[in-house]
């Protein structure tokens, strides 16, 4: 006996729309089993994991802080994935954006004024884009697999940051701690509503980026180019769209957005460079992109959901003493179920190897050719 | 209705039905094949011939119906079952590994563990006894299409089948190669074997088949003796009504008209070990004329189309000239902006993006040439404008569809082809290059497309048509040239061209190219 995937003649529109919700429900069920096995009442655990972290206004601010980088990175990645180009290294581009964007406050702390922040954001985007250009160049010049190169460059970026904050960029007055100096005030991304919580302008950047990418993909010739090259490359070549140019366009765009997310996180939520500046935003954003169906507006919703898994992970750790690795488990299950649901929308499962099914009378179909 | 038979039927099919989604590809099909007959299965593209045959060969399972083999009810669940019963099949598209020898390819399908040398010896003996000489130790990649078909036939015969199914076997052969095949088929019939012969070429069906079953829209519309029918009565059965003849007014004053498309010493190295190099191709297409390029599939037509369209650039920029200017260094968009338009052979995935709407597919080839009309400030697509333009083309070409602006993949092949051709005609290009304009298109739509191509030429454009359908080329061309092994023969004016002359050229028999004539042997 073996399993076969048979392509369905028609995709169900209803289930395409429902798929993320079904995946979410399946994740909850699997999560309940996991909590039960850990010896925790699943209902209590879910209340602590999903409800309590967003029951107060300041907590919603924390949600926005976590969601902002996820959404920024994921909308960029969605353009890549629509073009069938696989940038897996947003985590590295995020880190490089943070590093390059921090050049001014770390190396020129006496430079202050209203120009500092825009320059930092610009440098962050350039840093992320430049780092993303490496796998693009390798792919277009040497036909290397961008999945491998972009992923491997993540580890390079992480170690480079680690070396910087322990070496040349270490705060001389920091008692030997591996971190840079605290940024001056003009290098700090302002908070949106300081009286109610910490959320900063990064969340606004994320919403604006999602809006712009949505217009790009649904209304503009460039978005059409992305979709054609992604779905039928030969038709794209016939249309005169260059695949190599597209590789650079998508990598630079997603790299710039990841870089912007990186510098926004540094100058907004953290305020200095540390050896580790991301709890895996660049990887979680891949889940966000798929959970949001590669649609920028869906990604905003998905980004909030995944941000909640981070907060919930911290909450169950403090309240129940369960490792916050549980957040990773939830994220992994969510991606697994989303991809599973999507596959089953396009294919159905057939068991073969049994005695073949009996022939039955064909249904009459009116109007069929 | 069936003709007299001596002895029982070898194969009897009753009420066979196959449904794909909402499409009933085969609708209660009945078919009898007697021992020792060549039975034709006639029908247009999309009539259900391939579906029926796949059910007989076990690669598709019917939704309902019965199959009797030598009077016994059987269920053919896999090609393996079919082979065991004694049904062999030669597919239209060969399933051969180009990097292996003929004998190795045969061994792969026999899987009985006999050594290659034994198989090679058997294959050689069989091939000579049937007049299909074949060297079993030659690499498939080096063989002509006709020779590859021989491998498929020998492979099928080695399994000593009672019934041999041939799917469009002559579509890849020159007229002379086809003659050779017919001799073999007659020999097999005289040995008592049955043959199911699938074709839409009426003349050859009349010539070699004893009986015919005609399919239309998945249903059997008649059984007949093709020898007692005329080609036009058979066509009527297949199509359901009279097909309008294409009208071709004589081209006048062509000699003095300007050359709009010029190919000079076009040469291209093979892109892969098994693709065809282009060798010193020269061709001129003048305003007002249709030039046809004939040739057996896989002789460099695809490579030639890519080179002319600009999907592949030329080193020598003067080797492709459009309206008197060098275009060899320009990509497809640049060539379109010079006034050229292109229709590739593959509809889905090359000429059109399957998952995109027709209006978006309009944008595919016209985003640059009609940039002002379809793309607004800042690269915003004017969706109203492309929708209106798509509807105009749909109306002009009589594209039948189920929704106002459906996805390209939702259209039947013929209707999509009408849209793709219409998309380019709508621009009134001064140069049009078409590869296989009516491949897989039903007769009515094909006549529509051919007429449109002639009219475009007569209105002052240069039209270049690459096709494997000789009837089509004789119908629409002012001159015919033949592509063989990456070379192009001198154009023959239509008044001087005959099937025989063109057929010889298709086999590589142009004087001065003796080194390639060996292949047809």
Domain total for chain A?
1
Residue B1 belongs to some domain of the structure: no
User: What does the DSSP 8-state code read for residue A220?
Assistant: B
- Examine the domain organization and report whether B362 and B446 are in the same domain: no
State the pLDDT at residue B471. 84
| Residue A367 phi, psi (nearest 5) | 75, 0
- Examine the domain organization and report whether B52 and B80 are in the same domain: yes
- Examine the domain organization and report whether B161 and B21 are in the same domain: yes
Residue A282 belongs to some domain of the structure: yes
- Band of the pLDDT at B509, cuts 50, 70, 90? low
Its pTM stands at 0.78
DSSP string, B433-444: EEESTTTT--HH
Q: Which two tokens stand for residue B332?
A: 């497809």
- Taking contacts as CB-CB distances below 8 angstroms, the residues of chain A near B24 are 362, 365, 368-369
Name the domain boundary from B398, B428, B458: B428
The answer to whether the Cβ–Cβ distance between B24 and A238 falls below 8 Å is no
Q: Which two tokens stand for residue B349?
A: 């995935």
Residue A238 belongs to some domain of the structure: yes
Residue A256 belongs to some domain of the structure: yes
Provide the residue range defining the domain that includes A182: 67-322
Percentages (nearest 5) of helix, strand, coil residues in chain B = 40, 25, 40
Q: What is the ipTM of this complex?
A: 0.80
- Judge contact between A180 and A187, C-beta under 8 A: no
- Examine the domain organization and report whether B178 and B203 are in the same domain: yes
Look at the alpha carbons of B398, B401, B402, B405 in this order and tell me if their dihedral is positive or negative: negative
Residue in A210, A81, A98, A100 with CA at minimum distance from that of residue A147: A81
| Residue B387 phi, psi (nearest 5) | -65, -50
Residue B50 belongs to some domain of the structure: yes
- Examine the domain organization and report whether B422 and B466 are in the same domain: no
Q: Which residues, at least 6 apart from B343, have a Cβ–Cβ distance to it below 8 Å?
A: B351, B420, B421, B424, B432, B433, B434, B435, B437
Domain of B170: which CATH number?
3.40.50.300
- Examine the domain organization and report whether B258 and B379 are in the same domain: no
Of residues B49 and A244, more confidence is placed in A244
Q: Which two tokens stand for residue A111?
A: 């430079």
- Examine the domain organization and report whether B286 and B179 are in the same domain: no
Query: pLDDT of chain A along its 369 residues, tens only?
Result: 677 787 777 777 788 888 888 988 999 999 999 989 988 899 998 999 889 999 989 999 999 999 999 999 999 999 999 999 999 999 999 999 999 999 999 999 999 889 999 999 999 999 999 999 999 999 999 999 999 999 999 999 999 999 999 999 999 888 889 999 999 999 999 999 888 888 999 999 999 999 999 999 999 999 999 999 999 999 999 999 999 999 999 999 999 999 999 999 999 989 999 999 999 999 999 999 998 989 999 999 999 999 998 898 889 888 888 887 888 888 889 889 988 888 888 888 887 665 444 444 444 444 333
Residue B314 belongs to some domain of the structure: yes
Rounded CA-CA distance B128/B31 in Å is 33
- Examine the domain organization and report whether B65 and B166 are in the same domain: yes
- Examine the domain organization and report whether B414 and B446 are in the same domain: no
Q: Name the residue in chain A with its Cα closest to that of B48.
A: A369
User: Chain B: nearest CA to A240, how far in angstroms?
Assistant: 5
Residue A204 belongs to some domain of the structure: yes
- On whether any CB of chain A is under 8 Å from the CB of B406, the answer is no
Name the domain boundary from B188, B207, B239: B239
The answer to whether the Cβ–Cβ distance between A228 and B353 falls below 8 Å is yes
- Band of the pLDDT at B142, cuts 50, 70, 90? confident
| Residue B468 phi, psi (nearest 5) | -100, 0
Domain of A86: which CATH number?
1.10.3470
> Is the pLDDT assigned to residue B40 strictly greater than 80?
yes
- On whether any CB of chain A is under 8 Å from the CB of B80, the answer is no
Provide the residue range defining the domain that includes B420: 348-428
- Judge contact between B204 and B166, C-beta under 8 A: no
> Virtual CA dihedral for B343, B347, B353, B354, nearest 10 degrees?
160
| Residue B130 phi, psi (nearest 5) | -100, 10
- On whether any CB of chain A is under 8 Å from the CB of B331, the answer is yes
In the stretch 16-45 of chain B, residues with CB closer than 8 A to chain A read 17, 19-24
State the pLDDT at residue B45. 67
Task: Give the one of B309, B360, B379 whose C-beta lies nearest to A222's C-beta.
Answer: B379
Name the domain boundary from B409, B428, B447: B428
> Is the pLDDT assigned to residue B227 strictly greater than 70?
yes
- Band of the pLDDT at B510, cuts 50, 70, 90? low
- Examine the domain organization and report whether B317 and B174 are in the same domain: no
Residue B39: other Cβ atoms inside 10 A: 23
Residue A263 belongs to some domain of the structure: yes
In the stretch 269-298 of chain B, residues with CB closer than 8 A to chain A read none
- Examine the domain organization and report whether B175 and B323 are in the same domain: no
- Band of the pLDDT at B512, cuts 50, 70, 90? very low
Residue B519 belongs to some domain of the structure: no
- Judge contact between B395 and B366, C-beta under 8 A: no
- Judge contact between B451 and B246, C-beta under 8 A: yes
């Amino acid at each position: 006996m073996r399993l076969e995937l048979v392509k369905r003649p028609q995709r169900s529109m209803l289930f395409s729309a429902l798929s993320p919700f079904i995946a979410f429900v399946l994740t909850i069920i699997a999560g309940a089993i996991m909590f039960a096995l850990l010896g925790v009442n699943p209902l209590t655990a879910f209340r602590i994991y999903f409800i309590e972290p967003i029951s107060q206004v300041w907590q919603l601010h924390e949600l926005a802080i976590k969601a902002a980088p996820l959404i920024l990175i994921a909308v960029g990645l969605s353009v890549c994935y629509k073009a069938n180009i696989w940038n897996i290294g947003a985590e590295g581009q995020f880190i490089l954006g943070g590093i390059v964007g921090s050049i001014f406050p770390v190396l020129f702390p006496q430079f202050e004024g209203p120009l500092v922040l825009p320059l930092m954001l610009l440098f962050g985007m350039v840093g992320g884009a430049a780092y993303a250009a490496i796998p693009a160049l390798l792919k277009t010049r040497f036909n290397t697999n961008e999945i491998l190169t972009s992923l491997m460059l993540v580890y390079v970026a992480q170690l480079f940051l680690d070396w910087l904050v322990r070496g040349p960029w270490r705060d001389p007055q920091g008692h030997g701690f591996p971190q840079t100096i605290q940024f001056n005030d003009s290098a700090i991304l302002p908070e949106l509503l300081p009286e109610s919580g910490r959320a900063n302008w990064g969340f606004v950047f994320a919403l604006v980026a999602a809006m712009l990418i949505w217009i790009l993909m649904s209304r503009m010739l460039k978005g059409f180019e992305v979709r054609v090259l992604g779905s039928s490359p030969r038709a794209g070549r016939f249309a005169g769209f260059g695949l190599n140019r597209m590789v650079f366009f998508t990598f630079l765009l997603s790299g710039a957005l990841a870089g912007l997310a990186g510098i926004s996180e540094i100058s907004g939520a953290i305020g200095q460079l540390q050896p580790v500046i991301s709890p895996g935003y660049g990887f979680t954003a891949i889940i966000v992109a798929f959970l949001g169906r590669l649609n920028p507006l869906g990604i905003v919703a998905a980004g909030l959901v995944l941000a909640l898994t981070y907060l919930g992970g911290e909450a169950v750790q403090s309240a129940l003493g369960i490792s916050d690795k549980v957040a990773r488990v939830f994220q992994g299950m969510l991606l697994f179920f989303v991809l599973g649901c999507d596959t089953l929308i396009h294919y159905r499962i057939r068991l073969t190897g049994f005695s073949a099914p009996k022939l039955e009378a064909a249904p009459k179909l009116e109007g069929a050719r | 209705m069936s003709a007299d038979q001596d002895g029982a039927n070898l194969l009897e099919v009753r009420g066979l039905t196959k449904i794909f989604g909402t499409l009933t590809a085969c609708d209660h099909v009945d078919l009898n094949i007697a021992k020792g007959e060549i039975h034709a299965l006639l029908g247009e593209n999309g009539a259900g011939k391939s579906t029926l045959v796949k059910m007989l060969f076990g690669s598709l399972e019917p939704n309902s119906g019965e199959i009797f083999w030598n009077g016994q009810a059987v269920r053919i669940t896999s090609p393996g079952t079919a082979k065991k019963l004694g049904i062999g099949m030669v597919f239209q598209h060969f399933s051969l590994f180009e990097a292996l020898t003929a004998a190795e390819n045969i061994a792969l399908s026999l899987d009985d563990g006999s050594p290659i040398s034994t198989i090679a010896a058997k294959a050689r003996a069989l091939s000579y006894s049937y007049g299909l000489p074949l060297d079993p130790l030659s690499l498939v990649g080096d063989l002509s299409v006709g020779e590859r078909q021989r491998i498929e036939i020998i492979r099928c015969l080695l399994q000593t089948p009672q019934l041999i199914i041939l799917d469009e076997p002559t579509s890849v052969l020159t007229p002379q190669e086809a003659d050779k095949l017919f001799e073999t088929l007659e020999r097999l019939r005289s040995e008592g074997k049955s043959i199911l012969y699938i074709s839409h070429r009426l003349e050859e069906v009349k010539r070699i088949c004893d009986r015919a079953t005609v399919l239309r829209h998945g249903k059997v519309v008649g059984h007949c003796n093709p020898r007692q029918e005329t080609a036009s009565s058979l066509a009527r059965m297949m199509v359901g009504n009279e097909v309008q003849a294409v009208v071709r007014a004589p081209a006048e004053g062509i000699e003095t008209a300007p050359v709009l498309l010029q190919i000079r010493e076009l040469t291209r190295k093979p892109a892969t070990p098994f693709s065809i190099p282009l060798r010193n191709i020269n061709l001129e297409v003048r305003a007002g004329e249709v030039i046809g390029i004939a040739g057996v599939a896989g002789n460099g037509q695809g490579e030639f189309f890519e080179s002319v369209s600009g999907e592949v650039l030329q080193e020598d920029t003067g080797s492709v000239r459009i309206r008197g200017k060098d275009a060899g260094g320009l990509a497809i968009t640049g060539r379109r902006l010079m006034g050229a338009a292109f229709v590739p052979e593959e509809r889905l995935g090359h000429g059109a993006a399957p998952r995109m709407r027709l209006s978006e597919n309009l944008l595919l080839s016209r985003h640059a040439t009609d940039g002002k009309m379809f793309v607004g400030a800042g690269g915003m697509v004017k969706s109203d404008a492309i929708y209106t333009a798509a509807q105009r083309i749909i109306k002009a070409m009589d594209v039948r569809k189920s929704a106002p602006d459906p996805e390209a993949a939702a259209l039947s092949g013929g209707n999509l082809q009408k849209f793709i051709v219409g998309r380019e005609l709508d621009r009134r290009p001064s140069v049009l290059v078409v590869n296989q304009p009516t491949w897989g298109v039903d007769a009515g739509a094909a006549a529509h497309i051919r007429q449109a191509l002639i009219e475009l030429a007569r209105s002052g454009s240069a039209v270049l048509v690459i096709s494997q359908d000789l009837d089509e080329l004789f119908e629409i061309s002012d001159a015919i040239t033949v592509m063989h092994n990456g070379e192009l023969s001198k154009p023959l004016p239509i008044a001087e061209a005959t099937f025989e002359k063109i057929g010889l050229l298709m086999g590589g028999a142009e004087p001065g190219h003796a080194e390639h004539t060996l292949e047809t042997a």
